[in-house]
Each structure stands twice: as C-alpha cells, then as structure tokens.
Structure 1
Amino acid sequence: MPEHRWWAAEPLWRMAEEYGFAHAWTYDHLGWRSLVDKAWYDAVPTLTAAATVTSTIRLGTLVASPNFRHPVHFARELTALDDIADGRITLGIGAGGTGFDATVLGQPELTAAERSDRFAEFVDLLDHVLRFDVTDYDGTYYSAVQARRAPGCVQLPRMPFVVAANGTRSMELAAQYGQGWVTTGRGGDDMESWWRAVAELSLRFTDVCHQQGRDPQKVDRYLQVDAAPTFSLSSVEHFRDVVGRADELGFTDVITHWPRPDSPYQGSESTVEEIASEVLPEL
C-alpha cells in the first residue's frame, strides 16, 4: 500500500521484481479505512517512481477510482506513466468505493445504480481517449471536448484494462473492455463459504462473456485473495493452497498484500521470501 516514504518503499518494489513476482500493484485512494489518518501517498507518482527502479515486472493500480478522477486528465497521467514504464502498466479499474474517497470532496453520495452508471461512463470515455486521436463526449457524469490522445500509450492500441467486478453490470464492462477481470469474492465468514462465492462469481463471469460475445478463455482472471477471512500470507502452506484453489477455478493470477507489521494484512516478510524460493518456481 502507498503508505511509506519513498526511501522505505523503494526496496519493496525492487524486491517484488527480484523475487520473481509477475506484477506489483498499489491502491488508488485518497484515504483508506482504518488507515485514513495515517501516512498515504498517491498511486500515480508511486507507480512512476516504481517504474524507474524496476525493469521487467508489470505495474498497476488495484484499482483506479472514479470517485476523484476524470478520464481525460487520468488518460494523460496514464500515458506518461506507460511511457516511463516502457509499456509495463496494467490499469486495474473499479467503480469507486463508498468510504472516505466518496465523501472527502464534498460530492453527493451516489446510489449503487448511479455508481454503476458513472463507472460505465468512466471506462467508456477512458478507453476512447486512450485509443482515438480526438474525443468528444457528453455524458451524465463526464464530458470531453476535443480531448487529444497524442502521443498515445506505448502499448497499442492502449494499455490493458483489468476491470473489477462482482455484479453482473460491471462484469459486462469487464467482458466488453477488459483484457482482464478482477474480483475480491463476496462475503464469507469462513474460507469455505468464501471459496464457494468465488466459484459462483467465476461461473457467472463465464456466462456474461458468452452473452457479450467474448471468449472467456481470452480474458485473464485475477483474484484478490486477501478479501478472504484468512490472510493469504499467514503461512507458506496456506498461500500454496490458495494459489492451487484459485487455479482450479480458472484464475490466471492471484494478488496478495505485502505484509504489514500490524492490521490489516499483518504478517512477516520472511514468509514472502519463503514463497519466492519455494512456491513461485512451481508456478
């Protein structure tokens, strides 16, 4: 999470690449849950800095939020970021939460349906600005007048989108615009009930892809495994089990959290080292 001064954060990004992880992400919030009064840094400059101290690992937001971003300006930030990273950026994007980010700017609170409408506009306009030379757009939540793309992303026609979705409407966006789909699962007071919900969501996404005319096998599937009741890095064996179960359900990627000294995601960096040496070579 983007909570460290750069002198402390830089070694973590380097280690993620050196250990052999496929991708590394950071949150996109103005403040987050129990850490809202703690140190917090912005996602885009954090990823920019990370891009300058790594060379192979993919980098991204998990997930970018419409709560405080406009697609036209965000497209400029992403274009610069993709250039600095030499085409290693993956954009994780979601509908925006209902917590601190949704109120800190004094904006009106949106209903679930309004957040879905806004998300659809956000993804549609961002996709258009990143892919076309000039964009005009007149929506309920966002507008654009002669928005320019130049020079465009390093990755063509644009950087890949990984769309966060648990509901059917957001899944439709993932099927339409996403090179990937990411889910946190849903509910679950214990691991087994959480896994059952993940399995149901995976099946639903397959159905949505078929309904949208998209081959579900051509969409990467990301599972944020720390939405489960037990932290994935609680032990090496638990992490190995989590990865195996995700694979059985058809997920191509899993995402965990770098352990912190206290809650949330309290754990030991030694577990990361063991996973890098014992689990990653098996994948």
Structure 2
Amino acid sequence: MRTGIVILPEHRWWMAEHKWKAAEEYGFHHAWTYDHMGWRSLVDGPWFGAVPTLAAAAAATSRIRLGTYVASPNFRHPVPFARDLLALDDQSDGRFTLGVGAGGSGYDTQVMGNEPPRSRQRRFEEFVGALDLLLSQDRTSFSGDYYEIHDARGHPGCVQRPRLPFVVAANGPKAMGVAAKYGTGWVTTGPETEDEGAWWRGVAGITERFREVLAGIDRAKESVDFHLNADSCPVYSLSSVEHFRDVAGRARELGFTDLTVHWPRSEGVYAGSEAVLERVASDVLPELVGG
C-alpha cells in the first residue's frame, strides 16, 4: 500500500519547506495540499495558493509525487488552469498528479460573489472533460453548458504522456462515472458521520459501488488506484501509532491501494503530535510497503 500526506498551505514557506522535504524523507509516496481560497474553520487564518506552493515543493523535493487535494471548478476555468498544470508537471519533472473534485458550497463560492451552479455535477463533468482534452492534445475547442474554449493551444504538452494523471474524488454515482472514465485514481472521503464504525461501513459500501461502476464500463478495477482520505473519519488517523496501523489494515482489507493522512497541527482540525508522525514513518510505513 502506498501512503500520502496532506500539508495544508497555511505556513510561510520558510516554515513549510521542511515539511515537504520531510514527507519525502519519511518515505511517503505522495504529498498534497488543499486547493481552496480558504477552508472551513481556518478561513480567517493564514492561507496560500496551491499552485505556487506546489511549484515550491517541486523545487524542494526530487522523488515524491505532488498534487492538489482537490482542485475544483468553484473558482477555476480549465484553460488557464491547464497552463498551471503543465507548468507543475514540468517543474516536478513528471511527478504531478491532479486531484480533482466537484467542489461544494462555502467560502470558495461566496468570496467571489458567485451562486453555486444548479448542476454542480454537470459543471464538474465538463471541467474534467475539458482538462482531459487541454492536457492531451495540441489544440482544443470545446462548447458546453459552462465552458467555451476556442482553439486553445497545448504546447509543449505534459511530461507524463498522454497527460498527467487524474485522481478523481467521488462518493456518488455521477461523480463515480467521471472517475471511472477519466481517473487514473479514485478517492473517497466516505460518508459524513460522527460514528467511526458507521464511517467504515459506509466506506465499504461506497467502494463496492465504485467497483460496480467500473464493471459497468468494462474497466478493470486493477487499472484504477483506490485512494482513501483517512482523515474524513471521525477519529484522526495519526492520533496514535496503533490507530494508524489499524486504519491502514482496514483500508488494505477493503482494497485500497493508497491511504492519505494529514500533517498534524498544534490545535483544531487534525490536531496531533509530530512525534506520532515520526514513529509512523519509521515503524509502520516500511511495513506497508513490504506488505
């Protein structure tokens, strides 16, 4: 099983840089940051843009994969965003993965004075489909309900061919269809619940439904990486070494290939100890790779 870690873009680079370097040194396979204008309880605190943060992370690392967790069409248009993605893929020498989702209501939509679209799912389908074209061909024209693209250029193209990989966030059937069609990987947050047992049962059900969606389009489940956002669970994954080991074991039993956690914060959401992270890196991550 591969493991990833999310580093929130809330610290000035002199403080954040060591975390990205440490994530690579610890042996994580991928590291991510949130792509939001602001996020939930942290909206009034420090917050930096995902694209320049990931560009800096690409310069500070050499092996670990990097990505957005997750980008959405809430405040992005596919044409300029595709240019940003090309640059990130180039700066990382082909280590970039686009994590992408439909987005929700909240600060990302309110801050720009935009009303959420009547069909967020339809906009999401167009957004991902347009990015697929823009990142895999030299010229793109596209006409949809939400986006118009006229002869957009795609030179020089991605380092990764035919384009950089997409990990598509999906819990419901329509978004799962997008993940099955375009995704190199699929990521789920599981159900919204404060009951840990109910969350794991929900994850199991969602995972089985996604397998059915893949089977419906004759796509082998082995051709898609299964990612689990461990910290959507009511209990923080790095609350202890023993708990992380239990989380990883459950995820593996459900067929997940990738497990993602969040860097511990001193307080509030994802509050935890970096000492636990260090022990997980030294004691558990090698076990998962070996397994």
Q: TM-score, normalised by structure 2?
A: 0.96
Residues 187-230 of structure 1 deviation map (CA, whole Å, 9 limit, x = unaligned)? 23221110000000000000000112211121000000100010
Match of 1:147 in 2: 152
Q: Are 1:183 and 2:180 an aligned pair?
A: no
Q: Are 1:47 and 2:54 an aligned pair?
A: yes
CA distance in 2, matches of 1:176, 1:270: 40
**Unaligned stretches of 5+ in structure 1?**
none
CA distance in 1, matches of 2:33, 2:203: 23
| Equivalent in 243, 255, 259 of residue 254 of structure 1 | 259
Match of 1:32 in 2: 39
CA distance in 2, matches of 1:110, 1:232: 34
CA distance in 2, matches of 1:18, 1:3: 21
Residues 87 and 154 in structure 1, CA contact (< 8 A), matched pair in contact too: yes
Q: Are 1:57 and 2:64 an aligned pair?
A: yes
Q: Are 1:19 and 2:26 an aligned pair?
A: yes
Match of 1:129 in 2: 134
CA distance in 2, matches of 1:5, 1:56: 23
Match of 2:124 in 1: 119
CA distance in 2, matches of 1:79, 1:95: 21
Q: Are 1:110 and 2:106 an aligned pair?
A: no
CA distance in 2, matches of 1:246, 1:57: 22
| Equivalent in 214, 232, 254 of residue 227 of structure 1 | 232
CA distance in 1, matches of 2:196, 2:253: 15
CA distance in 1, matches of 2:193, 2:129: 32
The letter of the residue matching 2:24 is E
Q: Are 1:240 and 2:273 an aligned pair?
A: no
**Unaligned stretches of 5+ in structure 2?**
1-7
| Equivalent in 74, 77, 94 of residue 67 of structure 1 | 74
Equivalent pairs counted in the alignment come to: 281
Q: Are 1:3 and 2:32 an aligned pair?
A: no
CA distance in 2, matches of 1:53, 1:237: 31
CA distance in 2, matches of 1:110, 1:271: 42
Note the C-alpha offset of 1:109: 2.5
Note the C-alpha offset of 1:136: 0.6
Which secondary structure state, in structure 1, belongs to the residue aligned with residue 235 of structure 2? coil
Which structure has more relative contact order (CA 8 Å, sep 6+)? It is: 2
Runs (4+) of structure 1 exceeding 4 A deviation are none
The letter of the residue matching 2:229 is Q
CA distance in 2, matches of 1:143, 1:235: 49
Which secondary structure state, in structure 2, belongs to the residue aligned with residue 222 of structure 1? strand
Which secondary structure state, in structure 2, belongs to the residue aligned with residue 92 of structure 1? strand
Which secondary structure state, in structure 1, belongs to the residue aligned with residue 243 of structure 2? helix
CA distance in 1, matches of 2:110, 2:194: 29
| Equivalent in 103, 106, 109 of residue 96 of structure 1 | 103
Residues 89 and 159 in structure 1, CA contact (< 8 A), matched pair in contact too: yes
| Equivalent in 72, 76, 80 of residue 83 of structure 2 | 76
Note the C-alpha offset of 1:132: 1.1
Note the C-alpha offset of 1:104: 1.1
CA distance in 2, matches of 1:95, 1:103: 16
Residues 7-49 of structure 1 deviation map (CA, whole Å, 9 limit, x = unaligned)? 0000000000000000000000001001111100000000000
Residues 188 and 197 in structure 1, CA contact (< 8 A), matched pair in contact too: no
